Structure 1
Amino acid sequence: MAAFTRDGVGKRVAYYRSVVRPKMTQRQLADAACGALGTIRKIESGERGVTDATLEAIAHALGVDPTRLRADRGPALRAVHDALPALSAAIATYDVPDDGPTRSLISLRTAVDEAVTWRLGAQYTRIVRTLPDLITELARAYHQASAQERSELAGLLASSYRSADAVAYKSGARDLSARLVELMRWAAPESGDPLLAASVAYVRTETFFAARAHAPGLRALEHALDSAPSPNEQCQIATRGALHMRAAVIAGRARDAAAAATHLAEARTFADQVAEGVYYGTAFGPDSVRIHEVSVAVSLADGHVGRALNIANEWKPPLDMSAERRSGFYIELARAQLWSGLADAAFESLKAARRIAPQHTREHPWVREDAATLRRLKRADSEELTNFAEWCAAT
């Protein structure tokens, strides 16, 4: 279905390119959206319509949610939710994939790496449109491969399941997410890589968060730490540090302040030994640990919230961090500010999260809860807040 310029789409594209992203030229937008300069010019001038696929590519290049460019601002992430059944069907045949062609191992590796980049950038629409076919192809390649290639293909499957899980979990499809986690747990041992198994333990924590089973989740992470390889090299150090970082958060949710402090201290120790980066699909380093300090403070609540505000007063996530992690920082900060009576600051943080990763922000349950609370706190007459609450479906 096309979104036509008569509805003002072209004007909105021009506005976000020239006002919200003032340093972006039409050529830069065309390059970033993998389109032609002439196409961008015609769209902005109203000479041609825009397909959904082109509009989404432009929106990703501008760093805005596609619905902000459309005239009909439909339900949140409709395209993502509509595509979830195809993802579910793809994983149902993991052990009996359909016959068909498979690309080379190098090409498959490139495709999986691209999906990881989209996951870290919270570009869920791209993931859900690509992953069903990619997962099916990877399963086919795995079952056809020689023993020598199977281990790497198992690792690629685990990584692709993780990218798919990011969409399922963030979209509230908890059963699908749990199935993907179990497939990760199947694939990781097949890869023969103990660090991959540790990274899957990190992701598995989602199932404990979803079930509010925080104490068992903490035990599972501590068991994973006991089984993880000794931290002698960069990836081993980062993987162990990430597990401690995750354990600190779930300990906070369990209201175990002592365990949270212990795991945070361990995470800081390991973070001091590596540069901020992505290790086995997980961002880790000094900046990631700071963000998790905010998360732990919010999880512990009560007398700990001030710690989140203090961190935010002294430090902000650098621009080169993954979009999902940066937006998560502002979502957590907004909750701390709201609890501290700083309603205006909380709304500014929510808007910052939206600018960084609109899809991630829109689907986050805390965003909907906090936006609804803000509307009730003497701000019902704010058109901007009302629009924001409607955008994220706050009730």
Structure 2
Amino acid sequence: MMEHVGQRIREVRKIRRLTVRQLADRCAISVSLLEKYERGDRNPAPGTLARLARALKVGPERLTGQPYMNGAETDDQVQAIIPDLRRIMLTYDSPDDLTTAPRPLPVLEAEAEQVARMRQDGRYVPMGPLLPGLLAELTHVALAARGQEQKRAYWWLARAYRASNSLAHKLGYHDLSMTAIERVQWAADRSGDPLMQVTATYLKAGAMIRTGSYSSARRVLEALEAELTRLAPEESLTDPALAVQGAVLLKLAILEARDGQPGRAAQRLDEARAAAVFMGGRDSDHYEMSFGPTNVRIHEIAALIDTGDTEQALARLREWGEDQGRDEWELPEGLAAERASHHHIDVANARLTEGDRRGAFRSLVRARELSPNHVRFHPTVRASAATLVRLDRAQDDTISGFARWAGA
């Protein structure tokens, strides 16, 4: 069994010469809860993990142990592309020469669309090897083209850099992820598309939230909301603009939940719900945002979990399930696999907090069925699987096998 999050928290706490009470006070949590984290009996929610990392003056990845180096993560087709991505992002505006001429822009657009779909489905292993060549070719086309073709090339380049950001973040290369976000912004600014520019800044705000920079992220997201309102022709947003606006509102809801502001989180969820209704009550995929009624509900559950109200989160799932004639709410078919998988990972952690180990394991298995790459690279999965093994007195081979597969 590998070192777990709690062991790393304890290790860094001792390096910083802090007592359990001192660290708990700095993070506004109870001593008993911090002790549970350090023993590995409970797993900190993302917001709590960010507060702990900030109090300990380390990055969150120091506590999660990323980047991971076992199992599929050591597969050459995933790890071997990291140096190429670093090189391409360093030479983004003065790229290395290509050995052959780049493919025509329509061909590159088709491959970029395929990559975007892989990103949304969490298929990082097959996606990774496509990225270096795609980025290089799109860069050469964008720098050489003029007029609308150049703007179009930059638009697709922004999407390819977004996929690179996701890959780097999921593998735990957070410095490379931040560089990728900067390159998304660089390409978006040259695309001439205001919504792509908003999308790029939205990604930056997401990175701020992950590091616990809530006030900065709040300012950025509120400015984006104001910018979207300014862009609306005669106060009427298009469906793509509504989807982007909805995504911004949902990100604000998660921010407020992690910052201990449940009332504000609920207000933002209400605003996002209204945007989804105004868009016709349909789930959409504009600008890879997966916005609609389903994602609003997913974020409602996530916000409750992030505020520590795991009991209410699970009760809400049962309530919605009754409307479907089921024991618990089931996601609709066709939702982006990574988004659906992430929901089940959150629910697994909530079940574990409430002492439902069997239910937690079922949720983890369901998450793996939807997006194996996403699950295997996710730090919460590793932490939850490790906790399940430690608490499993019966030593269930199924649970231990899952934990080994996840690298826990």
Q: Deviations over 1:240-286 (max 9, x none)?
A: 01110111112211112122111111111111123202111211111
Question: What stretches of structure 1 of length at least 5 have no aligned partner?
Answer: 1-72
Is it true that 1:389 corresponds to 2:403 in the alignment? Answer: yes
Further displaced range: 287-296 or 80-89: 80-89
Match of 1:139 in 2: 139
Whole-angstrom distance in 1 between the partners of 2:265 and 2:394: 38
SS at match of 1:381: coil
Match of 2:213 in 1: 213
Question: AA paired with 1:76?
Answer: A
Match of 2:159 in 1: 159
Highest relative contact order (Cα 8 Å, sep 6+), 1 or 2?
2
Match of 1:14 in 2: none
SS at match of 2:395: coil
Against the structure 1 CA distance between its residues 183 and 74, is the aligned structure 2 distance closer, same or farther, given a 3 Å change threshold?
Answer: closer
Whole-angstrom distance in 1 between the partners of 2:170 and 2:316: 26
SS at match of 2:125: helix
Whole-angstrom distance in 2 between the partners of 1:242 and 1:393: 32
Is it true that 1:358 corresponds to 2:372 in the alignment? Answer: yes
Further displaced range: 257-266 or 201-210: 201-210
SS at match of 1:284: coil
Whole-angstrom distance in 1 between the partners of 2:216 and 2:388: 34
In the alignment, which of 257, 260, 284 is matched to residue 262 of structure 2? 257
Q: Deviations over 1:92-148 (max 9, x none)?
A: 221112333122221121111111111111110122100101001111111100133
Is it true that 1:86 corresponds to 2:84 in the alignment? Answer: yes
Whole-angstrom distance in 1 between the partners of 2:334 and 2:393: 34
Q: Is the 8 A contact 2:170 2:378 kept in 1?
A: yes
Q: Is the 8 A contact 1:379 1:385 kept in 2?
A: no
In the alignment, which of 383, 387, 394 is matched to residue 369 of structure 1? 383
Q: Deviations over 1:6-46 (max 9, x none)?
A: xxxxxxxxxxxxxxxxxxxxxxxxxxxxxxxxxxxxxxxxx
Q: Is the 8 A contact 1:77 1:359 kept in 2?
A: no
SS at match of 1:77: helix
Post-superposition offset of 1:212: 2.1
Match of 1:196 in 2: 196
Whole-angstrom distance in 2 between the partners of 1:393 and 1:380: 21
Post-superposition offset of 1:288: 1.0
Post-superposition offset of 1:209: 3.3
Post-superposition offset of 1:202: 2.4
Question: AA paired with 1:297?
Answer: L
Post-superposition offset of 1:380: 5.7
Whole-angstrom distance in 2 between the partners of 1:378 and 1:237: 46
Q: Is the 8 A contact 1:215 1:251 kept in 2?
A: no
CA RMSD of aligned residues (A): 1.6
Match of 1:25 in 2: none
Q: Is the 8 A contact 1:380 1:386 kept in 2?
A: no
Q: TM-score, normalised by structure 2?
A: 0.75
Match of 2:35 in 1: none
Divergent runs of 4+, >3 A? none
Q: Is the 8 A contact 1:174 1:210 kept in 2?
A: no
In the alignment, which of 92, 97, 100 is matched to residue 99 of structure 1? 97
Q: Is the 8 A contact 1:153 1:191 kept in 2?
A: yes
Post-superposition offset of 1:178: 0.1
Whole-angstrom distance in 1 between the partners of 2:205 and 2:386: 28
Is it true that 1:332 corresponds to 2:349 in the alignment? Answer: no
Q: Deviations over 1:324-363 (max 9, x none)?
A: 0110010000111111111110111011101110110111
Whole-angstrom distance in 1 between the partners of 2:312 and 2:195: 32
Whole-angstrom distance in 1 between the partners of 2:241 and 2:207: 24
Is it true that 1:288 corresponds to 2:295 in the alignment? Answer: yes
Q: How does 1:1-395 map to 2 (within 5 A)?
A: 75-79=71-75, 80-100=78-98, 101-228=101-228, 229-230=231-232, 231-274=236-279, 275-301=282-308, 304-313=309-318, 314=321, 315-379=329-393, 381-394=395-408
Whole-angstrom distance in 1 between the partners of 2:179 and 2:253: 25
Whole-angstrom distance in 1 between the partners of 2:205 and 2:405: 29
Q: Is the 8 A contact 1:87 1:132 kept in 2?
A: yes
SS at match of 1:283: coil
Question: AA paired with 1:298?
Answer: I
Q: TM-score, normalised by structure 1?
A: 0.78
Whole-angstrom distance in 2 between the partners of 1:128 and 1:360: 13
Whole-angstrom distance in 2 between the partners of 1:156 and 1:378: 48
Number of aligned positions between the proteins: 320
SS at match of 1:94: coil
Further displaced range: 246-255 or 155-164: 246-255
Q: Deviations over 1:57-95 (max 9, x none)?
A: xxxxxxxxxxxxxxxx96232232232112212222211
Whole-angstrom distance in 2 between the partners of 1:219 and 1:259: 14
Further displaced range: 224-233 or 157-166: 224-233
